[in-house]
Structure 1
Amino acid sequence: MPQSEVKDPILHQLGERIKELTALHTTAKVFQKRNTLPELLQEVVSIIPPAWQYPEAAAARIVLNGMEFKTNNFRETRWKQSASFITTDGKNGVIDVYYLEEKPPESEGPFLAEERNLINSLAEMLKIYMDKKLVEDALLESEERFRTTFEHAAVGITHVGLDGRFIRANRKFCDIIGYDCKQVIGKQFQDITCRYDVETEAEYKDKLLQGRIHTYSIEKRDIRQDGTPVWVNQTVSLVREPSGEPKYFIFVMEDISDRKRAEQERKKLLHDMGERIKELTAMYRAMEIVQQEKPVRELLQEIVETLPDAWQYPDVTAARIMFEGHEYKTADFVKTEWSQVASFHTYDARDGLIEVVYLEDRPPEAEGPFLTEERDLINSLAQILRSFLNHKMAEDALAESEKLYRTLAEAAHDMVYIIDESERLVYLNDYARDIIGEDPHEFIGKRARGLYPPETAERHESSERHVWATGEPVYFEEFTEFPSRSLWTATWLVPVKGKNGGTTSLMGIVRDIDARKRAEEAIVNAEKEISKCKKTPS
């Protein structure tokens, strides 16, 4: 599918958990109101649909001892999730959640396993609320359960006074910030917050105190006792007195440093693959241009116009080619101090050069502001020009240029292939053997779908059709079972455009990301365990 449609599974999971925590927290606040029981139950039932995965198609009902409370859109369907409860004085109750239209199957019909936990928790909260009005022991039991959860939770939990000082903190919180629990009490929360995040957090706290929001969640950096930063996801709510006056804040903190590192690695992977695609496209486009039956001057001008897009900062890139005293350049070319040059010399002693400049300063890389791969690219382009100019009218020019391109592709630690308009493979590099486990030469001239199992091939053909139709590249990650091995791969499908701007072929680059995906999977599983602890009502 297109890159824009790919969802980050970690962010989606966190979003669902936040909705569930919000429902629990909002329900708890409703219980603090001095409403009649019918008013309370009607308000609680309105909280339920937004906490489910498909809120626009959800309806809810609470039945208690013959009384019925439901949302305005309520009707019974075959997609139902229920949780029953019985109060200590013998009243039977049930919470029903219905989907008004069919949704994809999950753990329990169309419902998530976490939604089962959530509806059970809501039922339990209703039971506890009504029980504690009858028996004081129910309140004591709830408080004991809270203390146990607080002390043994897999997430950091702390209470912070209105003056910003820590009142109480559990062991996990202290472990995250690297302090002994006795050292934490009495400290200001600003003492452990990164100075870049202090102002943002203060603004959110003010909104809580003013009643403009009921809770907030932010990703921020805290500073451990040893001075090192730690990334956390922090959810904060405000506890109020029965009179409505603010009492103290509850901070729930999760260490997300591993996820942040994974996100940075993924971002770097996407950036690196994007740069390699631009470079390969420039090489391929240059070889296409030199095959045209045109005067040399026209071909050199056409090539120079393609160069800026292949560099890391195309918006501030200009280029020129010098040959036989003639200059071929982009319209914005001027000499600057940020220059990268590659010279070439023909067999008949004619000299030329390719020069790429940045029009403004950029961060330092391997060669001034230029990447190592850009040095390799400009050198390869210079060799292509040298070969082309030496053998303009000979078949050897095309053969040598294509060999240079294929050498670049063969040197890559990625599977690189090209598909023509008939959807057949015209090129597949030797590294493909490491991905598919078979001889890549056996696939040349065959349909590209033969590289993959049937289900995977259908997804690839759908993505290929999208690239042919839109002229836009597509990136996707998938788990594929090849005959000799199974692994996660990242794939870029990129259009190779002809002179008229139309797509003439597709280039695919496939990278082995199995190690990274398995690391991300471990992080997701850990966060699921953490989210279960967050659902325990306080």
Structure 2
Amino acid sequence: MLKDADPAPDPQAWERLKAGIDALLAENRDLTARSVRVELERDALLAAVGRQGIVYDADGGVVACPCGESRIARSLSRMRDAPLRYPDGRPVRPEDLPGHRALRGETLESCRFVIPDSGDEEIHITVSASPIMIGETITGAVVTWQDVTGEEQTRRRLAEVNTLLEGLFESLGDIVGIQLPDHTILRYNRAGYEMLGMTPEDVKGRKCYELIGRPGPCSVCATDLVLASKKQEVVEKFVPELGRYLECRSSPILDEKGEVALIVEQLYDITDRKRAEEERRESEATARALLDAPEETIVLLDAEGRIIDVNETATRWFALSREDLIGMNMSEFFPPDVAETYAARLREVAGTGRAARFEDTWEGRLYDAVLYPVGNANGAVARIAVITRDITDVKRAEDALRKRTQDLNKRIGELSALYEISRIIERPGITLDGILREAVQVLPSGWQYPEDTVARITVRGREYRAERFRETPWRQASPIVVNAETVGMVVVCYLRERPREDEGPFLAEERSLIDTIAGRLGRMMERFQARESLEKSESQFREITQQSFDMIYTCYHEGGIAYISPAVMRILGYTPDELIGRKCRDYVAPSSLPVWEEGRKRIARGEPVEGLEIVFRRKDGSVAFLELNESPIVRDRSVIGVHVVGRDITERKQNEQLRQQAFEQIERNIEQFAILGDHIRQPLQVILGMTELLEEGTAVEKIREQVERINSYVRELDRGWIESRQVREYLRKHELA
């Protein structure tokens, strides 16, 4: 081209141009070699880190794609309709492709994307992207990626396995816990939290023994045993805090050094099993006790007649120990003929499956024997229980009892008659005549021959008799005594002759019966008389109470005043109806409350109270002085109330106040007498002394005479003062002042 442009170039210029072109070519070859080396180093580096990459120019064109035509490379190099998706399934917009974002200046590190593959398969990749900068200008971008599909599949399989294990862990019916060697709980399964009644937040980080309220580990701890042995340990124990028996099965999880890192503890609730074992042991003990308790001889045989077990009575009967008897055959204890009879009975019971019972005599004693079949699970007779009881004494007792029963049947009639008499007497509202009329009809049923027995009762000239009654030689009588006085007679007669007994045709028991009935009728009449006397006394008492000038009332702790006499109207102005049910304390003046409470304390101790002076408030607002005499009401050894008789001493109190005032006035008068005597004597002495200065005469004599006269008056006052004091002391002595 240069030659064509300048056919005659300057040779020097030509040489310089040629040299320049050679230099440029050499530099270009060097740059090309260096570019190839960089690309090889880049590819080696990407391969070393398990990644592939694409280099873009500033316009988004692919400059280099050392990974070939892989699907991932094609997807990342496209600018449109990108098949990439985010892990949550959202599609990636073209403008959000890693290369585009890097060309905009963003740097991405290990972003996860998903590329759909054929079918349902997916390719999972992690992408990093960064812009290529020359100065501040973005001249291109590098995008690298790594296929993590296998890792994602492994992660998903691991998550599925973890989910399955977690489901199995939570659904286990037994309690499973994971703890550290120092007993710190990491977690339990659902059954564990339900047993403890706690949430995972309540449990995590706490010691296992703290969860049941203990300050330290259990004395026998499976976890401590695992720490020592580094192998699975099993412990059974009762946990009182939970009220359960638990089987604690602890298994160690060792670290790479062989030390215990974690402990998996499985707790099995064996309460039912333990209790079943205890019940079985108790049942066996009970069965043995029941077997040994009876006095009967009990032997358990197999179908061949060999002894399997015996009770204590059997060992005494055979005079051998239980260990010696077990395994022996019953035929060894009897003569051949007797042994064959017993063997036939055993075969019959074993064949029919029905119990057999018989009586037999052995060495002069009578025995009652029962052969009872015991079936196995298939219903076949595998065991036969032989229960033998010595009934010799029982048979003798039955004979005696039979005779005694005949005698008792006679006594039943007597008791029936006595019961009927008692029932008639205790019937509410029945009169004395009604009792005696019914009694003569009931009496014959108590004698041996009621069909031929008649009765009569006489009381104070009145007669009560049965329709067929007539006097016969076969007669029995008993007097009716009331308060040591015979007031009547009970007579029983047989209408025809009977065999002779203890008292003519009568038994000794019949004599006791007629005497008992007569005594019961006498006591009944005494009760009737006492009731009449009581009613009369109550009537008289109520009449006296109603007419009494004293206030009489009954007051209970619970119900207040139950009765109060009409005198309350005169004393306090209230009607009895106004005070019924009220508390006495409500009407006591405040000044008398301390004395009143002291009286209540004495009554509570069961002590009577006399002369208790209390001020009560009247209905009109004035006060009344009452002197109370109180008696406690005692029932079942407890004080439940009080009986009170209150006497109105208001007038007496007022008179005492007047007398007190009078005596106080006397005191004042006496003191004035003494003062007056002193006041008179002193002037008289002065007057008498002045007369000594005067000449004797009629006037002096007259003055002396008058002074003596006044002195006599003063002496009279002195004697009156002394007598007044004596009167006062007398009155005080006799409580009149």
State the TM bucket, normalised to the shorter chain.
0.3 to 0.5
Q: Of the two, which has the highest radius of gyration?
A: 2
How high is the TM-score relative to the length of structure 2?
0.25
How high is the TM-score relative to the length of structure 1?
0.33
